[in-house]
Amino acid sequence: MSLDSHTDTYEPDTPPNLARIDELRGEIEAVDESLLAHLAQLHSYRNEMKVLEARLSPLRARNAAALGVPLPLVEGLFALLAKESVEEVPEPSTTEIRQKMIEDASFSLIALLAQRLNCINRIGAVKAVLGLSVCDSTREAELKSLHARTAVPLNLPLPLVETVFTLILEDSKACQRRSR
Would you give per-residue pLDDT tens digits along the chain (180 residues)?
333 333 344 454 456 788 889 999 999 999 999 999 999 988 888 777 777 888 889 999 999 999 999 999 999 988 888 777 655 555 555 666 678 888 999 999 999 999 999 999 999 999 999 999 999 999 999 999 999 999 999 999 999 999 999 999 999 999 999 877
Q: Residue 174: what pLDDT?
A: 94
Q: Residue 27: what pLDDT?
A: 95
Question: In DSSP terms, which residues pair with 11 in a beta bridge?
Answer: 2
Q: What is the residue type of 133?
A: S
Task: At 12, give phi and psi (nearest 5°).
Answer: -75, 55
Assessment of whether the complete model's pTM goes beyond 0.95: no
Q: Residue 95: what pLDDT?
A: 61
Rounded CA Rg of the chain: 17
Contact indicator for 8, 179 with CB cutoff of 8 Å: yes
- How far, in Å, CA of 57 to CA of 54, rounded? 6
Contact indicator for 41, 105 with CB cutoff of 8 Å: yes
| Distance in angstroms between the alpha carbons of the first and the last residue of the chain | 17
